[in-house]
Structure 1
């Protein structure tokens, strides 16, 4: 079990490097990516968006290499014998700059086409500016065009590689058959002309086919990895959801038990206990339940007070009757502890004392005496 936990997950493999690592990235690289590349998408971005960023990042790196190569080659272009080299370098710098702007503007296909064209310009220009025509020693320059196919497979969709292979093949056939030749190449064309043309063309299409298969395999692998990442994320979300459901069930059971205890205590005429709403998943109904229990508690107290007052009133009434029959002073009830009943007792006692004074003075009527 521990060994399984130590293995890297699909998320760890496919997720970009953490923000702390990117913050330690070389300042020059960050500046260059900011000028020539689209912003990096978030880790949870769709696969298509992350694939676009991958292509844009590769194109940005290639543009940096091409610009450094073109700028450092300028002195050789001014001092060399090839008069077109300096012009070619300035054109390459301009093309790379436009490709950088297009790559930054999320126009990746146009930027990739310009990159492939910029890479193809070097061998094509060398072939076109060869003095006194082509020779057997210059034929390997046609093979350098396969570099553009490899770059094309890296920065453009897979089917573009066959387009550039066809263009390169057309240029190879035109260059070998139509351009001026030296004596050695002319003699070779007469003896094995089809082989001299078909071999570099075959190299172009074999390279294009291999690059296409490589791109398709890499794309399928990325799709499978992304699907595995999504499945892993779903499994993680489902596990978290189940854990949350289990926690909510425990909280609900505790809340229901607390409510049941409070209702039973109130029903058994125990002291009223308020149900806490803090951290309670049933907090929306706890307030009304607390209000109902509080009203029941007040009703219970009112009923108890009513019963006590009724009992004391009966006792007071009986005391009044006894005092009237025995013509004795009113005696307070033995259980009289209500303030209102005490006031009533005082009033009745004062009335009884007044009646006794009237009787003793002879001012009370016979009817009142009975």
Structure 2
């Protein structure tokens, strides 16, 4: 019998660049994991494995304080410490083995034994011996994001993790949990794949919306019916106009907006945070063609919100909420439109901003207080 021919595939030509490592997510609930070593690095990995549902046996002649505290920090007794030297029998039925041994020869022997038993192996500080790596993790379970630099710069991966975490809405995990519980009903009521895909796209938009609250049965029914969900208005203060000084709430609002009405002086760097699909409408002296009167601006935003669009009014300047928003907030609430105010960061020194204005020093707390007072006055 002739052997099958294995052809080399050019992954770049196929549209897939070569991968340094393959990101694979492993289910460990109920599985046995073994940690050989009692160091602080081993303790972190023992707790991580236990948080994924594994039963973890830690085997070492000595344990650091972090490792001694691990059994009490994890529920259901999923971490057990065994104060002795390791043996080959210890890794016999393990799904994954963490090797955190100081002696290099001992570590290589442990890796070899674990592989013979069919276990995945991670060797602490010995990347050349690893079958699997532990990257930086964003944990909003059931959303889990793994980040790897293939050992090149772990600190860079941690920095990237922090930036990603900042962009994820705090309530997203609840929406994902709801989505998991809704899957069976969605499949039953929307048997056609295109309809189901459209449903999940609508759910994703709603989960990331600035006004997204706790997911409910009403949300499910509305999404199944094809509703885009309630619109809303978010007034975002871009502060002095420096994109580096935008608040996280401001970035989230821009990334989820369908329509952005912005001061003519807002920089292109700030506007770049909005989605490419968002409709951008400049407001102000630089472009009188779009809503030149302040009352017309409010009417326009309310109309968009009533069309289930997420509207952002992006301002730039030193004075907090501009005068038109007093009437705008009142009109929106009278119309039953949800309105949110996102304060900005004040300039910290006299400087020329992207709005072409000179700013004087004012504290962040003063700016926020002024904006909240403006909103409260019309509520």
Q: Considering fraction of residues, name the structure with more strand.
A: 2
The normalised TM-score by structure 2 is 0.23
Q: Considering fraction of residues, name the structure with more helix.
A: 1
The normalised TM-score by structure 1 is 0.23
